[in-house]
Structure 1
Amino acid sequence: MDDMKALFIGGTGTISTAISRKLLEEGHELWLINRGNRNRELPEGAHIITADINDEKYVAEQLAGQQFDVVADFIAFVPEQLERDYRLFKGKTRQYIYISSASAYQKPLSDYRITEGTPLANRYWDYSRNKIAGEELLMKLYREEDFPVTIVRPSHTYSERSVPVGLHGKNGSYQVLKRMMEGKPVLIHGDGTSLWTLTFNSDFAKGFVGLMGNIHAIGEAVQITGDESLTWNQIYQTVADALGVELNPYYVSSHFLAKCDTQRLNIEGSLLGDKAHTVVFDNTKLKKLVPGFCADIRFDQGVRKAVAYVMSHPECQIEDPEFDAWCDCVIEAQEEALKKVQMSQKR
Structure 2
Amino acid sequence: MGNDREVRVAREAREREVLVIGGNRYFGKRLIARLLAAGDRVTVLNRGSSAPPAGATHLVADRNDEKSLTEALGSRTFDVVVDQVCYTPRQAAIARRVFTGRTRRYVMTSTVEVYEYEDSVAPVHETDVDPLTVSVDPELPWDEPEFLDAHYGEGKRQAEAVFATEPAFPFVSVRVAHVLGGNDDFTGRLQHYADRIRTGEPVLVPVVNHPATYIHVEEIADFLFWAAGEDFTGTVNAASHGTLTTEELCEAVAAHLPGGRTVFREVEVGEVSPFSFFRSYGMDNSRAARLGFGFDKARRWLPRAVAETLGKDA
SS in 2 for 1:275: coil
Q: Say what the alpha-carbon RMSD is for the aligned residues.
A: 2.8
Partner residue of 1:228?
A: 242
Partner residue of 2:253?
A: 239
SS in 2 for 1:117: helix
Deviation at 1:223, TM superposition (A): 1.0
The within-5 A match list for 1:207-222 is: 207-215=223-231, 217-218=232-233, 220-222=234-236
TM-score when normalising by structure 1: 0.73
| 8 Å CA contact 1:78, 1:131 repeated in 2 | yes
SS in 2 for 1:72: strand
Q: 2:125 aligns with which of 115, 118, 133?
A: 115
Partner residue of 1:140?
A: 165
Deviation at 1:245, TM superposition (A): 4.1
Partner residue of 2:69?
A: 59
Partner residue of 1:301?
A: 304
The whole-number CA distance in structure 2 between the counterparts of 1:91 and 1:195 is 42
Query: C-alpha deviations, 1:134-179, integer Å up to 9, x for none?
Result: 111111131xxx4221111002013313569xxx8xx765354233
Change (3 A) 1:116 1:307: same
Change (3 A) 1:252 1:223: same
The whole-number CA distance in structure 2 between the counterparts of 1:305 and 1:225 is 19
Query: C-alpha deviations, 1:218-274, integer Å up to 9, x for none?
Result: 2x100111113121101111112123343322222252437xxxxxxxx8xx87xx8
| 8 Å CA contact 2:254, 2:262 repeated in 1 | no
Give the partner amino acid of 1:153: R
Partner residue of 1:151?
A: 173
| 8 Å CA contact 1:8, 1:72 repeated in 2 | yes
Query: C-alpha deviations, 1:188-216, integer Å up to 9, x for none?
Result: 3125853122211110111211111322x
The within-5 A match list for 1:1-347 is: 2-39=14-51, 42-119=52-129, 126-142=151-167, 146-161=168-183, 174-181=191-198, 183-191=199-207, 194-215=210-231, 217-218=232-233, 220-253=234-267, 255-257=269-271, 275-289=277-291, 291-295=292-296, 298-308=301-311, 311=313
Give the partner amino acid of 2:162: L
The whole-number CA distance in structure 2 between the counterparts of 1:177 and 1:53 is 36
| 8 Å CA contact 1:14, 1:159 repeated in 2 | no
**What percentage of residue pairs aligned between the two structures are identical?**
21
The whole-number CA distance in structure 2 between the counterparts of 1:292 and 1:71 is 20
Extract unaligned runs of 5+ from structure 1: 259-266, 313-347
Structure showing greater Rg: 1
Deviation at 1:292, TM superposition (A): 4.5
TM-score when normalising by structure 2: 0.80
Give the partner amino acid of 2:310: V
Give the partner amino acid of 2:246: W
The whole-number CA distance in structure 1 between the counterparts of 2:24 and 2:18 is 15
Change (3 A) 1:281 1:172: closer
Extract unaligned runs of 5+ from structure 2: 1-12, 135-148
